[in-house]
Amino acid sequence: MSADTILALGLNHTIAPVAIREKLAFSKDCSRPLLALRALDGCDECLLLSTCNRVEVYFVSKSGAAAADAARKLLFAGTDLTDEEARRYTYFHQGADAVRHLFRVAASLDSMVVGEPQILGQLKEAFRLAGEHKAAGFLLDRLFTKAFFVAKRVRTETNIGGSAVSISYAAVQLAKKILGDLAGRKVLLVGAGEMAELAAEHLVGQ
């Protein structure tokens, strides 16, 4: 695997507040921005991951930082952020650092709630979409296949998944800790995404 050509650009909950992440929120079908990224000069392969807590582009290019700059400009093109602000709220990894970052993301070590299982499914869906549009090729195919293998080993050989955890589950547990018994209480869920659906399921169980 030519790790020196693998790049990762993104933002997540650790570097960008919700107000910034919302500006980059994509619909569940990321086909249009994915194809736009793939069409950038110097981009040989790419994959776009978009969740409630992160937006990341994994791509293969020999252009290094120049390719990352082009991808950053494209991602933020529809926002009111300056180029300086876009740089401030994003991170960039290349080579082995990009590979390690992906492995941490896939294993849920980089999640807001460490051990939450949703991220692996979200990565697999992003991988499927990239393959469907022929945006991912040989290198990303090998990289993500390995990342899924690593994530599975982490989950089966450690206690990271010892309890059913997710951001939604953690939110419901926090509400119980603060308010006590939730039976009979009225709850307002903001949003209609996967996390809101999971929260609703956990609340019904109360």
Residues with active-site annotation: 52
What is the Cα–Cα distance from 29 to 10, expressed in whole angstroms? 18
Amino acid in position 81: L
Q: Which two tokens stand for residue 47?
A: 């994959």
DSSP string, 165-189: --HHHHHHHHHHHHH---TT-----
Angle between helices 118-132 and 194-204 in degrees, nearest 10: 150
Round to whole Å and give the CA distance between 53 and 123: 13
